[in-house]
Structure 1
Amino acid sequence: MKIILVSDIFGRTPAVESLVADLLDTLDHAEDIDIVDPYQGQFVPFENELSAYRYFTDNVGLLTYSNLLETRLAAQMPVSHAIGEFSSNALLQQPPEQKKPLILLIGFSVGASAIWNIADRFIDAQNQITAIGYYGSQIRNNLNVAPIFPIQLIFPQQEQHFSVAELTEKLSGKMNIDVSKVPYAHGFMNKLSDNYDKAGYLEQVNKIRHQISTREINIY
């Protein structure tokens, strides 16, 4: 299985590298984890979350980030296909053992929202991709997406600018979506965030590790 971590507005940081290290021992090879970030690997030092948000908004934006992720994901697919048009014939030609999910996307904040934005662009890829998205607050602005592949959406206890309860209610019951709330704040998985929560981080890392090691990737 290939894992692709899709970072938040901070980009590729020591905190993201630490998460990679925490997941590595469940994989066969180090190259099984890839990182997608808004700044394409360039380290950008931020004073705080506000400066990171302003830089991301002014220099990248969610639409560009979503398109970047789509391009990177298309390059990782086990068979070639045009972006947004996965070949069902090519999928059927794969050996049975390759029909299990081969790519696990894990996104945080804008990374989760970017995953959501492209979740309907890979036709017939539901057996190739699965995803986990943490506190993707911008999902609320694009509720028309009908994910083709299964995605677990994990939201914080509350958000400053909208009702988490209302959003989860709108998402619940839709095909390929599993929605849950955790008793932590937005950013709890990022060691650079003011809302980082060690207990919450370890709890979720252990859940991800279990899914990877047992290949228990749920299909909703």
Structure 2
Amino acid sequence: MGFSVGATVAWLCSEEKGVDGMAGFYGSRIRNYTEISPQCPVLLFFPEEEKSFAVDELITVLKKKEAEIYKFDGKHGFSDCYGPNFNEESAHHAFYHLDRFLKKERL
């Protein structure tokens, strides 16, 4: 699991053997690695807007990889309760989906 650049690193690791799943929050640099073919379940969270790219276009590309993807109100950092872009409602919904994803039995 990762946030921002950590989400991008988790995305890069999703092709590796032994990775059971990956979750990433606002991994904006994933856009530079859309050739990755995850070999595990993937859960991604994006804000409705990012300064440097079109969120909806990236989501369209990533959904073809069978990733579970959610877009929430707010900006980059919407789930960081200490950050200026915190969005309590979006964070709550994202953590609900994260909890559900983590509780799925992995084979």
Query: Is 1:155–1:164's contact at 8 Å kept on the other side of the alignment?
Result: yes
The structural deviation recorded for 1:137 is 0.1
CA-CA distance at 1:207 after TM superposition = 3.2
Corresponding residue of 1:23:
none
1:141, distance to aligned residue in structure 2 (A):
0.7
CA contact (8 A) 2:11 2:22 kept: no
Match of residue 16 from structure 2: 121
5+ residue gaps in structure 1?
1-105
| Partner in structure 2 of residue 56 of structure 1 | none
| Amino acid across the alignment from 2:28 | S
Q: What TM-score results when the alignment is normalised by the length of structure 2?
A: 0.84
Q: Does residue 201 in structure 1 map to residue 91 in structure 2? A: yes
Q: d(CA) in 2 for partners of 1:207 and 1:164? A: 19
Q: How does 1:55-134 map to 2 (within 5 A)?
A: 106-122=1-17, 125=18, 129-134=20-25
- Mapped partners of 1:135, 1:159: distance in 2: 9
Give the corresponding residue for 1:164: 55
**Structure 2 alignment gaps of length 5 or more:** none
Q: How many residues align?
A: 107
Give per-residue Cα distances to partners, 1:14-36, cap 9 Å, x unaligned.
xxxxxxxxxxxxxxxxxxxxxxx
- Matched with 1:185 is 75
Aligned Cα RMSD in Å?
A: 2.2
Instruction: Write the distance in 2 (CA, Å) between the matches of 1:113 and 1:129.
Output: 16
